[in-house]
Amino acid sequence: MQLEHLFTEEQKAIRDMIRKFVEKEIMPIREKMEEDYSLVESVHNKLVELGIQKAGYPTEYGGGGGGSMMNLGIICEELAKGDAGISLTVGINAGIILAPAIHAGNKAVLDKFVPAFCGDEVNYACISMTDATGGADTENPILKGRGIATRAKLDGDEWVINGTKSWPTHAGIASVYLTVCTTDPDAGDEGVALIYVPHDVEGLSFGKPEAKMGFKTSINGSIFYDNVRVPKEYRLAGPGHDAHFYHFAADCGAQWHSSTISLGVAQAAFDIVLEYTKERKSWGKPVREWSMAAGILADMAIRIEMTRGAVYNLTWMLDHPDVYGPPFGDAMVSKASITRSFASDMAVWVTNKAAELMGSNGISPEYHLEKYLRDAKITQLWLGGQQIARYRIIRGYYDYVV
């Protein structure tokens, strides 16, 4: 898919820089990182040195002034070619969690949390979303906030939060937790409250990191809120507005981020199998010269190129809300969910076909493919899975209600 006309010279330079970084710093240790988190943090700190983490934050805090979605999309795709977990963490830390506070102009939140992300070391953020009870009910848009179980009650000048979250990325290592709560489940979206919680507040605790099949370079765990108290100013924006930002962060921004990761994973798998079928011989000629293998490779290329077009088309739309509408609107949430659903299905299909072409070598760490095979599946499961995504999609066409 020809996209060069969409990229500025600066964006092409960013892409080249990240490609070189991935080749030098990630590819040689991509399997080792899954067993040694100190290697993961070393990679993240090198990315901090490149200015990636602070790029999306305001200049008054020492940030880069706010990069475009296109810039971040390029970075996330290229990093995912090396490691999906690295890409996930970078997208989260580079501003997705604190972007709502920036747009809402919540100075109390920005003053408290942003400076650490503009420093010289990796700093983690977390969106604490999925409730332990109800699972995807938290993410289900047709419930309009009624499925959120974590409760927030205003007591004087403080919010008091109680509940349990399952599987948040960076649980236990983040400095800030954007916590999805409800002040009143019966109030629907009007009851949705997004509250920023510091890591060291009393009553906040964490479970052990989850053992996972894929995304081993990112940490997930449970978060427990036991009468956690935070200043009332740490609520994002207020009734109604918080729901808009929630739909932006969870239903649109996270869907978009997921699609960039799926694209990078699939491209990496395709690169591996393309080279493998060139070197591997069958009856005296490269495997990819046989028509059956060539047809499978062609189908992989078709899906990847169509996904790349969809991902960067969506990215362009998100960078131009004046033309395409706000990112929390049903239309943009629908388009983001379409792209994410297609991209994750594509990544699983491509990595599976790559394994079939490589046979037993496809599941051997020596050939690197099995890592991408494992990582691809996760992108179908998070954010409510492919089933909840269908609710988001169809609400862009008519108001599906329960």
Give Rg (Cα) of the chain: 21
> Is 76:91 a contact under the CB 8 Å cutoff?
yes
Pair 85, 36 in one domain? yes
Under 8 Å CB-to-CB from 200, ≥6 apart: which residues? none
The CA distance from 188 to 181, in Å, is: 11
192-225: pLDDT as tens digits: 999 999 999 999 999 999 999 999 999 999 999 9
Pair 67, 199 in one domain? no
For residue 88, tell me if it sits in a domain. Answer: yes
Exposed (0-12), middle (13-18) or buried (19+): which is 164, by Cβ within 10 Å?
A: middle
Higher pLDDT, 142 or 29: 29
State the pTM of this model: 0.96
Pair 318, 362 in one domain? yes
Quote the tokens at residue 60.
């008054």
Residue 372 pLDDT greater than 60, yes or no: yes
3-state secondary structure of 152: strand
For residue 402, tell me if it sits in a domain. Answer: no
- Please give the tally of structural domains in the chain: 3
For residue 65, tell me if it sits in a domain. Answer: yes
> Is 148:198 a contact under the CB 8 Å cutoff?
no
For residue 400, tell me if it sits in a domain. Answer: no
User: What CATH number did the domain enclosing 301 receive?
Assistant: 1.20.140.10
User: What CATH number did the domain enclosing 153 receive?
Assistant: 2.40.110.10
The DSSP element (H or E) to which 165 belongs, if any, is: strand 158-165
For residue 223, tell me if it sits in a domain. Answer: yes
Give phi and psi for 378, each to the nearest 5: -60, -35
Pair 199, 270 in one domain? no
Exposed (0-12), middle (13-18) or buried (19+): which is 38, by Cβ within 10 Å?
A: exposed
User: What CATH number did the domain enclosing 39 receive?
Assistant: 1.10.540.10
For residue 79, tell me if it sits in a domain. Answer: yes
Write out the residue range of the structural domain in which residue 201 sits: 125-240
Length of the chain: 402
Of the residues 91, 117, 143, the one at which a domain ends: 117
Of the residues 206, 240, 274, the one at which a domain ends: 240
Pair 359, 383 in one domain? yes
For residue 149, tell me if it sits in a domain. Answer: yes
The CA distance from 52 to 74, in Å, is: 12
DSSP assigned state of 347 = H
Pair 87, 132 in one domain? no
Of the residues 177, 208, 240, the one at which a domain ends: 240
269-295: pLDDT as tens digits: 999 999 999 999 999 999 999 999 999
Pair 305, 388 in one domain? yes
For residue 399, tell me if it sits in a domain. Answer: no
Higher pLDDT, 142 or 258: 258
Pair 26, 98 in one domain? yes
Pair 233, 274 in one domain? no
